[in-house]
Structure 1
Amino acid sequence: MAKQRWRTSKKGDNDARLEIFRYAILLFAGVILLKLVYIQVFQHAFYEALASGQHELFQELIPERGEIYLHDFKDETLVPIAVNQQLAFVYTDPRQIEEADDTAEALGELFGYSEEQIDALEERLDQPEDPYEPIAREVDEKTLEKILALELPGVHYVREASRLYPEPEMSGHILGFMGTNEDGSTSGKYGIEGYFDEELTGTQGYLLSERDISGRLIAVGTREYEPAQDGVDVVLTLDRTIQHKACTSLQEAMVKHGADGGSVVIVAPDTGKILAMCGAPDYDPNAYNEVDSIHVFNNPAIFEAYEPGSIFKPLTMAAAIDVGAVSPTTTFTDTGSVMVDGWNKPIGNAEGKVYGTVDMTKVLEDSINTGMIYSMRAMGMDVFVEYVKAFGFGKYTGIELETENAGTVDSLDIGAEIYSATASFGQGITVTPLQIVMAYAAIANGGVLKAPLIVDEIHYPDGTIEKRSVRDIAQVIDPKTARTISAMLVSVIEHGHGGKAAVPGYYIGGKTGTAQVAKSGSIGYEQDNTIGSFAGFGPVEDPKFAMVVRIDNPKDVVWAESTAAPLFGEIAEFLLQYFEIPPVRAIE
């Protein structure tokens, strides 16, 4: 009996152990199942990225930079002017290279290296313990094919995005470029590339996992995966055809007059949208590292503030008329010069001319300095200063471009009459071409100053489009005053110094300005160095454009009526035809 009981007990123990083993198997299977569910549902993105391979994973983690476009309003299309292209980054693994001298010679020949460069490359490749040596970035397809045909051991490549600017001859100052930082990374510099660098860059993704000391994934370790978010696309307000015409004409005028530089800005008065913005000398953003001076990176239309000279006079006159201090028919007697408080010498007219008794229209037509001082005194210095600031001078316009200069009107706050007197005819203060054209656009727009817009739309990767809104800054002058000044500016072109800016068959308003260039670091002005400008708009009865033209230090002629005015007239005639605006008067 005892023996039987022992056998029964033993059998029971075996059954118990089997039952425990069975439950253990079921528990283990359950854990595996739960882990698989967790992986499939909660970490699907991680393993999908891991399984895609290193190259595809790189594409997932590094965002694609957004592109930049401008309009072609005639075709109603968008034209890319900053795009991405896939070029090769060639590198070597010296551990795999058997003949460093032969490899250096072969690569050096393809890349056009000198003997010294080949020797230096050989020294870098002849390092058996070195796993990595970079050779060249942005290698084009043709060169890459030649490298691959050599089948050199240890020479490898990867594709990487590179920025391409298809129309560099008219876009350097607007676009900026992609430059290299101290840590070897790249980022946008200047222009749109610099201003919108963060938005264009996008958000980098990441893949995070825990590994053991052998580099293997830990099965139950932490894993996170976040895909990259591509950058936005930026659509500019610029019109491709207008931009090309403005930039081409500016370059031709510079060559003709042997000028040091120049700029053109064209604006739609009713919206503040920039239709064209050109600066010279410009640069090729594809080869930004080949410039003679980094100064060329600055956009002269927004960066180079200068004393505007006589193109400022209509703004002074507009202020005086707006407060009722003068009218177009108000007369004063010019004796050739006038004394002002705070200066011990008389202030005279250009070339010492004396005009006698004239009205305010004649003051603008003949660009009489003393007449502008008369207008400033008639309204009072404080009122004059208020209008100067109301037109936007001495402050940033807020345009979405890098390196904008606010100019300076600080001297007007001193209170001495000399500063307001000289400012009334455009000396002693500094402005940018953009500030000037926006002020003239305000006159053309019934006295309403608009904020300048150079970005029309932002296109997000998810398909969302953000439209930039037109924004009013201030009603600077009354609409009636704006109409009055407009008529006076037509008279300036037809009876004054602005005749070469005229367009037959149309009423165009505008004003010339030949500005002296202040000495750097001392008092006074440079000899034989002037800046010629012309600012205006048209057609006056329904303005479609406002424009400023600036020519720096022309060598053949001094006065703006022979440099900036003809350039303005040429571009204005093109614009009227481009906008298909019919003539309103007989063409003689």
Structure 2
Amino acid sequence: MAKGLALGMGHGDYIDKRLVVVKLVFLIGLILVLVRLFQLQVLLHDWYEKQAAGQHDVLSELTPIRGEIFAKDNLAVDGLAPVVINKDSQLLYAVPAEITAPETVADKLALLLDIDKEELLAKVSKVDDPYEPIQEFIDDSLAEEIKALNLPGIHFTPQLQRYYVPLDGMGQALGFLGYDGSLRVGQYGVEGAWQRELGGKLGYLKAEKDVAGSLIALGKRDIVRAEDGADLILTIDINIETQACGALTEAVKRHGADSGSLIIMNPATGAILALCNAPSFDPNNYREASDIGVFSNPVVSAAYEPGSVFKPITMAAGLQYNKLTPDTTYEDEGQVKIGPDILKNSDLEAHGTQTMTAVLENSLNTGAIFAMRQAGADNFKKIVEDFGFGEISGIALPAEARGNIKSIYGGKEIYLATASFGQGITTTPLQLLAAYGAIANQGRLARPYIVDEVIYADGNKKKTETQEVRQVLSPATARTLAGMMVQVVEGTHGRRAAVPGYYVAGKTGTAQVALKDRAGYDPHITIGTFIGFAPVDNARFVMLVKIDNPKDVKFAESTAAPVFGQVAKFLLNYLEVPPERDVK
């Protein structure tokens, strides 16, 4: 200071100059603030508005609308019934730059939302964030309550919510829309398998960035628009599905069973008409499921030892290669000894002279072994393969299992013998259904499918064409075998699957369940299955009913067969199939 005064600067002049500098700095700062405000409020207003509002240009153009899912409905004017739709709801979001009192905003929102105040405060305090989502899927009534608070910086934008029409037993078939990280994607069922078609294609934003990787405020921005997802029309008939799933759920409950499955197919085309599981889950509230195992679809994913429903497959080998006829006889001694092993009939009885038709009607294990031996090991294995066992069907549902038929290639007759009556091998319900469908369809194996048509957002449509996998049996062999299976339903074990006025072909099977910790079977657990089709000469459907571990009765004739009969009666009436014979 002394040096300054020596140069002729007075103390007052020095202070005045300092004030000028301070004022100048303040003025420059004020100008910068005003420029920034002008930039934010005028030049960049549209950009931030687009970022902040999901339905506004940016977010709506970047996010595709997910396709909806429909079932068939012969009673509807347009022939369709929506099963998965997009419902209008509200997305609550904040623009933190507009919020002057974040504590107050957080306090008031916390009273209405199921979100912790501290979490809300963190969201609304991000002043550099032009768009901060707070909660999805706000219903209209709650949205109105929040709007009435007139909170600055708190906004709503319309949002589509995935909604599943309540349909008992259909959860595994449909799947649900869940999260993969921050993205909402289809999981399980049709939602998962057809994610690419339903989900569409995300758009994206091209924007200039500076050397630090930050967006340049006034830089060039281009939007590549999203492509909306396609709608799916399922092969499932909503009226058949409702009846079938209701019957299955009631049966599982009545018998105290662990679970159950039911699937119906058009044998000529492979179109799935119904697919039910019990227990199921509500896709709208999938997070409430106590066990994620319930999301899996046992019809395609759960391979099991099928038991006696496999005997018609064995019989088909003998018939196809002209090694036996329905009237071929053998002497049933009640058991067959193979090396050190003794295989017995399920009733532990010897039945004397029996025809091949009686083998199916009385479900004789010894007769199945006889038929396998008559056919020959190679022919038996060839028929098993041709029916599609040991390979996936290609139905386009997630996690389809192949089953396991490796034991029949082991070179030991004991494995062929047990396989002949459905033990020591595993199959899925879908594989069994398709195989019986081939018997019903003049020996032709059709590929099962569940999506009938894909309707793209641009109006283009893709119809699923019927695919014949292979000719497994000659038409004559298929007719003969079907006739033998009619006797099963007309006889003792399958009588409760019968429908008065119609010829129904089918077979029961009560399978044992292998122990998990050692060789052998659990004596307390059984799986009952009935598979059949009708009318036998021109089958309109083939159906499988499976009841797992019923607690009150042991055999499939008392668990699965009655459900088949109940649903088959409805089907024949619904499909307007005229009776084939007089009702006694």
Q: Aligning the two structures, in what range does the TM-score lie when normalised by the shorter sequence?
A: 0.7 to 0.9
Corresponding residue for residue 137 of structure 1: 136
The match for 1:78 is 80
Counterpart of 1:148 in structure 2 is: 147
Shift of 1:582: 1.6
Structure 1 residue 345, shift from structure 2 partner: 2.2
Of 89, 98, 110, the residue aligned with 1:108 is 110
In 2: Cα distance, 1:467 partner to 1:416 partner:
46
Q: Which whole-Å deviations, capped at 9, do the CAs of 1:442-472 have from their partners, x for residues lacking one? A: 0000000000011111111121111111011
Structure 1 distance, partners of 2:516, 2:106, is 52
Letter in 1 for 2:71: L
The offset of 1:86, in angstroms, is 3.0
Distance verdict in 2 for CA 1:583–1:122, change over 3 Å: closer
Structure 1 counterpart of 2:59: 58
Alignment of 1:405 onto 2:401? yes
Q: Partners of 2:215 and 2:531 in 1: how far apart?
A: 72
Between 513-522 and 539-548, report the one with greater CA deviation: 513-522
Which secondary structure does the structure 1 equivalent of 2:338 belong to?
Answer: coil
Q: Deviations over 1:194-240 (max 9, x none)?
A: 1111121112223424377994435xx6x644322111111111111
1:324-473 aligned within 5 A: 324-341=322-339, 344-473=340-469
Q: State the AA in 1 paired with 2:81.
A: V
**d(CA) in 1 for partners of 2:252 and 2:215?**
67
List runs of 5+ in structure 1 lacking aligned partners.
1-48
1:387-442 CA-partner distances (Å, limit 9, x unpaired): 10110001000001111111110111111111110010000111111111110110
Cα distance in 2 between the residues matched to 1:100 and 1:457: 51
With over 3 angstroms needed to count, the CA separation of the structure-2 counterparts of 1:88 and 1:397, relative to structure 1, is: same
Match of 2:24 in 1: none
Please give the alpha-carbon distance, in whole angstroms, between the structure 2 residues aligned to 1:123 and 1:159.
23
Q: Secondary structure at the match of 2:436?
A: helix
Q: Post-superposition shift, 1:126?
A: 8.0
Partner of 2:246: 248
Report the Cα distance in structure 1 between the residues aligned to 2:127 and 2:229, rounded to whole angstroms: 39
Larger mean Cα displacement after TM superposition, 173-182 or 302-311? 173-182
1:112-171 alpha-carbon deviations (Å, 9 max, x no partner): 56xxx34x4465368575746543221112111111111123333333332111234343
Is this contact kept in 2: 1:269–1:442, CA < 8 A?
yes
Matched residue, 1:169: 168
Taking the aligned partners of 1:473 and 1:448, their CA distance within structure 2 comes to 8
User: Alpha-carbon deviation of 1:69?
Assistant: 1.1
1:581 maps to what in 2?
Answer: 577
Deviations 1:343-394 (A, max 9, x none): x221000131111111111111100000000000111111111110110001
CA distance in 1, matches of 2:104, 2:217: 37
Partner SS state of residue 295, structure 1:
helix
Q: Partners of 1:196 and 1:567 in 2: how far apart?
A: 31
Sequence identity (%)? 46
- Residue 8 (structure 1) aligns with: none
1:476 aligns to 2:472 (yes or no):
yes
Residue identity in the other structure for 2:68:
E
The residue aligned with 1:300 is 298
Q: Report deviation, 1:585.
A: 1.4
**Partners of 1:97 and 1:125 within 8 A in 2:** no
Distance in 2 (alpha carbons) for counterparts of 1:281 and 1:124: 41
- Mapping of residues 141-290 of structure 1, within 5 Å: 141-182=140-181, 184-210=182-208, 215-218=216-219, 224-290=222-288
In structure 2, distance between residues paired with 1:128 and 1:463: 43
d(CA) in 2 for partners of 1:67 and 1:79? 11
TM-score of the pair, normalised by structure 1: 0.86
Q: Secondary structure at the match of 1:169?
A: coil
For the Cα contact (< 8 Å) 2:497–2:563, is it kept in 1?
Answer: yes
Distance in 1 separating the partners of 2:209 and 2:123: 32
List per-residue Cα deviations over 1:508-552 (Å, max 9, x = no partner): 010110011112242111231111100010011211000000001
Aligned 8 A contact 1:168 1:286 in 2: no
CA 1:128 to 1:320, structure 2 compared with 1: closer, same or farther past 3 Å? Answer: closer
Q: Decide which of 514, 536, 558 is 1:518's aligned counterpart.
A: 514
CA deviation profile, 1:465-517 (whole Å, cap 9, x unmatched): 11111011111011111111111111011113000001111100101100111
Distance in 2 between residues matched to 1:415 and 1:407, nearest whole Å? 19
Q: Which amino acid aligns with 1:572?
A: A
Q: Where do 1:492-571 residues align within 5 Å?
A: 492-571=488-567
Aligned partners of 2:207 and 2:215 also within 8 Å: no
AA matched with 2:270: G
Q: Are the structure 2 counterparts of residues 191 and 515 from structure 1 closer, same or farther at C-alpha, using a change threshold of 3 Å?
A: same
Structure 1 pair 305/318, CA: closer, same or farther in 2 (3 Å)?
same
The answer to whether the 8 A contact 2:301-2:400 is kept is yes
Answer yes or no: is the 8 Å Cα contact 1:168–1:283 preserved in 2: no
2: distance between equivalents of 1:436 and 1:214?
59
Note the aligned Cα RMSD (angstroms). 2.2
Give aligned pairs, total. 530
Residues 126 and 448 of structure 1: CA distance in aligned 2, closer, same or farther (over 3 Å): closer
Aligned position for 2:94:
92
CA contact (8 A) 2:106 2:124 kept: no
Where does residue 488 of structure 1 map in the other structure? 484
Q: CA deviation at 1:65?
A: 1.0
Structure-1 separation of matches of 2:263 and 2:425:
20
Give the whole-Å Cα distance in 1 for the aligned partners of 2:353 and 2:126: 92
CA distance in structure 2 between the partners assigned to 1:519 and 1:246 by the alignment: 31
CA distance in 1, matches of 2:168, 2:569: 23
Is the alpha carbon distance of 1:486 and 1:225 closer, same or farther for their aligned partners in structure 2, counting shifts above 3 Å? same
Amino acid at match of 1:210: E
- Write the distance in 2 (CA, Å) between the matches of 1:520 and 1:135: 48
**C-alpha displacement at 1:101, in angstroms?**
5.2
Aligned amino acid, residue 108 of structure 1: A
Contact 2:110–2:120 at 8 Å: present in 1 too?
no
